[in-house]
Structure 1
Amino acid sequence: MFDYISGLLSYLSGNGIVIEQSGIGYKIVCANPFSYQPLMNQDTKVYIYQYVREDAMILYGFKTREERELFVRLLTVSGIGPKNALAVLASGDPDEIIQAIEAEDNRYLTRFPGIGKKTAGQIILDLKGKLADFSVSNNVNTDAHAENTALSEALDALEMLGYSEREIHRVIPELKKQELTAENYVKEALRLLTNT
């Protein structure tokens, strides 16, 4: 399973983008390809979900892990396919979508293309109460990416080491007070986690 593809953004159209890496152009279907317009002919990182069926193998791309995770969760809902899930992401903010699901806001969910009352009800039934951990974990990573790449890398490393999102979230305020390398952020986080 791919996590992301990083390379030159060489082409953009209404339904996707092409990332060139090592002489290979990867066609990636995106929720809003034109949001990548400012990155044309630049190195770009796209988080990937590989969708496989009998007659096709499609790469779906997302700007953040949060968007990808919400896409994957939407695919678990009966009656939602990749096209519908992509339409939801193209038209809404992931945090707002999660809030609408938790608040059982049918009206908000039915504004997306291809989502009627029945499907909106199914989304709420299948996902309500199951997105709290996802929301917290990705808000942590989004904040980190916005502020500090080294801190973001350190948080990813802590996750790989098996620390829970709750544990990681607890030490972030202390880590944000310092400017360190990713390696030293990990060391400091481990010191904080073992001393609490």
Structure 2
Amino acid sequence: MIDFIRGKVVHLESEYVVLDVRDIGYRVFTPNPYALARSEEPVQLFVHHNVREDAIHLFGFTTRDEQSLFRRLLEVSGIGPKVALGVLAGGRPEAVVAAIQQENITFLTKLPGIGRKTAQRMILDLKDKLGSINSKWDVAPLVEFEVASTADNASAWAEAREALAGLGYRDAELDKAWLVLKDNLTGEESPDVLIKKALQQLFQG
């Protein structure tokens, strides 16, 4: 069983990075590949090693807490690795934990691949199992997140926009991408998540 991988990012796509580990390239699916691409130093990812009859996949996370939350999500009926990865890509881990513990179905159903029934199962199956993860984050009530969401989005987008401008995107392109994105956000997206979402929109034109 692989617990973590450390290597340099040599290639990335919208869903994964390739890490060069002693001249072997490992494809690792991760919530925010573009965040890792900005590092010129070797990166370390905590790994979930998923083995199926027809495939072997590696899913990687920058913290062990994210790795633990990912594995907890897999315990929920109807949530596979790709959906669990989408949940971590769509919202900050601490916000996901808070939503489950506070039974906030509205928040959970805004996450990729999560419908109302799946959100209800997440709450039922995980509400009492996230204590060890919760204790490591300052999980505030989601009502506070929602009140501050507009300001939080603006601040996160400012940082994401600066990074995207550094990649060569023009102001007009970034403004157009933001107009599409801003009405479909939970308010809990980090700059890294906004970078990924904006790049997906920019690639689509």
TM over 0.5: yes
Q: Residues 143-190 of structure 1, C-alpha deviation per residue, up to 9 Å, x if partnerless?
A: xxxxxxxxxxxxxxxxxxxxxxxxxxxxxxxxxxxxxxxxxxxxxxxx
1:8 corresponds in structure 2 to 8
Does 2:79 match 1:80? Answer: yes
Q: CA deviation at 1:100?
A: 0.6
Correspondence list, 1:77-156, <5 A: 77-136=76-135, 138-139=136-137
1:43 corresponds in structure 2 to 42
Contact 2:100 2:123 in 1 (8 A): yes
Q: CA deviation at 1:31?
A: 1.2
Q: CA deviation at 1:44?
A: 1.0
2:22 corresponds in structure 1 to 22
Q: CA deviation at 1:9?
A: 1.4
Letter of the structure 2 residue corresponding to residue 30 of structure 1? T
- Unaligned runs of 5+ residues in structure 2 are 139-205
Q: CA deviation at 1:7?
A: 1.3
State the distance in 2 between where 1:133 and 1:45 align.
22
Does 2:63 match 1:64? Answer: yes
Report the TM-score when normalising by structure 2.
Answer: 0.65
Q: Which 4+ runs in 1 deviate beyond 2 A?
A: none
Q: Residues 54-90 of structure 1, C-alpha deviation per residue, up to 9 Å, x if partnerless?
A: 0000000111111111000000000101111011000
State the distance in 2 between where 1:15 and 1:133 align.
28
State the distance in 1 between where 2:35 and 2:120 align.
30
Letter of the structure 2 residue corresponding to residue 44 of structure 1? V
Report the TM-score when normalising by structure 1.
Answer: 0.68
State the distance in 2 between where 1:67 and 1:106 align.
21
Aligned residues: 138
* Identical positions, percent: 43
2:33 corresponds in structure 1 to 33
Q: Residues 29-58 of structure 1, C-alpha deviation per residue, up to 9 Å, x if partnerless?
A: 11121111211x421111111000100000
State the distance in 2 between where 1:139 and 1:101 align.
14
Q: CA deviation at 1:18?
A: 0.8
Letter of the structure 1 residue corresponding to residue 111 of structure 2? F
Q: Residues 4-45 of structure 1, C-alpha deviation per residue, up to 9 Å, x if partnerless?
A: 111111111112101111110101011121111211x42111
State the distance in 2 between where 1:26 and 1:71 align.
20
Contact 2:9 2:37 in 1 (8 A): no
Q: CA deviation at 1:135?
A: 2.0
Q: CA deviation at 1:108?
A: 0.4
Q: Residues 94-123 of structure 1, C-alpha deviation per residue, up to 9 Å, x if partnerless?
A: 111111101100000000111100000000
State the distance in 2 between where 1:76 and 1:104 align.
17
Letter of the structure 2 residue corresponding to residue 87 of structure 1? G
Cα RMSD of the aligned pairs, angstroms, is: 1.3
